[in-house]
Chain A
Amino acid sequence: MSDSGVANAVAPAFTAAAVSRRAVGEGAWLRWALTGLALLFLAVFLVVPLVLVFREAFSKGWDVYLAALTEPDAWHAIKLTLIAAAIAVPLNVIFGIAAAWGISKFRFRGKQVLITLIDLPFAVSPVIAGLIYVLVFGSRGWLGPWLEAHDLSIIYAVPGIVLATIFVTFPFVARELIPLMQEQGVSHEEAALTLGASGWQTFRRVTLPSIKWGLLYGVILCNARAMGEFGAVSVVSGHIRGKTNTLPLHVEILYNEYQFAAAFAVASLLALLAVVTLVAKSALEFKHQRDRERSARAATRQEEL
């Protein structure tokens, strides 16, 4: 009895280490097998398709590649894609900040309903996102006759494309900021306000610096989706070449005309955008993590003092 008691008291020092190494980690071969299988899955589903886009784009040489990107319809599609993103992203940023401020700093009835509505565009099929605007603004829609009488067109025109883009990218910034600002609470803002700062000063000097990484993160994702949206924009665009074609729609037209090299050339621009997005995103995550570690270290140093 007393013997085993002594053994139990001495043993943990080295058996615990042995146990944790043996039973909390996996054997080397299993580790390599799991890693290999995971990487194979990622390679088959992600890397190979991405590589294929660039290979097909250059399959007929540089001349065909450059010609596909510089023809007038492609240029127009690039411009329209940039315009749609340039309108949709800032509008959704303003909305995202307003919604996150309201939701995180105040208590009110119906907050959960508002959050659910903000989430809804993520859950709705892109085709339905296009359909709803056709029902409101289309020639047989709610506002159709009025728009026609005033010689305005939204569906099969640029405003419809912008609207559809706004809808599909609607939640990105708000979704990023709401949890961030909820976590941060209100104490910093309250301190600034009691020290005499105005509401705007408080927002600009206190809130904005503390949410800048989350905001930038949301903007990057919002922009990638805005430039790449296909389904919703396809429904409202009418596919008028040189007029209502965005880059993804231009890819579809070229592909359906069996101009595969040209289609992949234009697609490679969008794939490049995706790669840049991923690089920017992981750079931001890295920076954000470093900032947090640094402030955590500063906090412990202060505690020690």
Chain B
Amino acid sequence: MMSRNRVIPGFGLSLGYATLYTSLIVFIPLAALAAEGISLGGERFWAVVSHPQAVASYTLSFGAALTAALINLVFGLLVAWVLVRYSFPGKRIADALVDLPFALPTAVAGIALTALYGRNGWFGGPLEALGLKIAYAPAGIVVALTFIGLPFVVRTVQPVLAGLERELEEAAASLGADRWQTFRRVLLPALVPALLTGFALAFARAVGEYGSVVFISGNMPYRTEITPLLIYSKLEQYDYAGASALGVMMLLFSFLLLLAINALQYWSLRRQGGG
């Protein structure tokens, strides 16, 4: 194990550079955020992060992100299933298209979805006739966040589903299980870690999303103002400390979610390894 270090060169150079670059770009600026937030002092920090407008924004951000991630959990599994198990014309195009939300700039997604779900839009018009208001309402935020998080569940479930051995299902079937029982008792448990990882990734992405949401939400304080937008408007009023306090809250949350995702991936690897 130690011999590796002696044979392969570049330990100091590669890690020295990687650490320096990571510190400059990621670590020091994030530390500046923490320092600015802490400099407020406990009482004022609490006053900022527990302000009713801030609380309303958390409720909206979390609620909309959670709803969108749940939609993606269900439909992501469906899309992954269809792409892995069935063959149909245009499958490769459908497969490539799943990554569109990663490749399409969020601002473009934002204006497209707003035009689509607005009062005069292709979907917005008919939906409004039914009494459903999507754009400039919380539902619009859910639509944007569903778009943004769409690839995560598909892409985490796809490889696991493709790697499952068909013998397991055949064994279940020959033991008398019907297709639904096989799915629920044999397939689903094997997919749970991947599903949860994809769900957590989509959720994490959705909570912080800004670009696609600002266009479709209407940005009304207490009603359709997400937390990143509240941070943005505090910054525009040069309220650096207030913006930082909210930023620290979001950062803490992201960090917890990241830990959860790593734990899930570890769990999923161990389960796969254990067979």
Contacts and interface: CB of A to CB of B under 8 A. Distances in A.
B130 interface: no
A264 B22 contact: no
Contacts of A26: 179
Contact of A107 (B1, B7, B123, B262): B1
A290 interface: no
A33 B29 CA distance: 50
Interface string B234-275: 010010100110010011001101100010000000000000
B169 A24 contact: yes
Interface residues of A, number: 103
Contacts of B172: 23
A101 B261 CA distance: 24
Contacts of B257: 123
A117 to B, nearest CB: 5
Q: Determine which residue in B5, B102, B182 has the highest number of CB atoms from chain A within 10 A of its CB, and name it.
A: B102
Interface in A222-273: 224-225, 227-231, 234-235, 247-249, 251-252, 255, 260, 263-264, 267, 270-271, 273
Most buried by B among A134, A163, A275: A134
Interface in A117-143: 117-128, 131-136, 138, 140-142
Contacts of A119: 258
Contacts of B205: 122
B251 A255 contact: no
Q: In the complex, which of the residues B14, B146, B215 has the most CB atoms of chain A within 10 Å of its own CB atom?
A: B14
Contacts of A69: none
Contacts of B250: 124-125, 128
Interface in B47-88: 75, 78-79, 81-83, 86, 88
Nearest to A191: B7
Nearest to B238: A140
Contacts of A121: 26
Contacts of B8: 105-106, 186, 189-190, 193, 199
Interface stretch (A48-56, A60-68, A208-216, A293-301): A48-56
B211 A126 contact: yes
Given A105-B8, A228-B106, A131 B258 contact: no
A20 B173 contact: yes
Most interface-central of A22, A133, A278, A282 (chain B CB within 10 A): A278
Given A101-B14, A125-B254, A263-B111, A194 B94 contact: no
A34 interface: yes
A247 B170 CA distance: 53
A251 B111 contact: yes
Contact of B7 (A103, A167, A194): A194
Contact of A125 (B5, B14, B209, B258): B209
Interface in B167-201: 169-170, 172-174, 177-179, 182
B105 to A, nearest CB: 3
A96 to B, nearest CB: 9
Interface in A150-198: 163, 166-167, 170, 186, 189-190, 193-194
A228 B13 contact: no
B113 A135 contact: no
B173 A126 contact: no
B45 interface: no
Contacts of A103: 15, 18
Nearest to B146: A45
B208 A126 contact: yes
A185 to B, nearest CB: 10
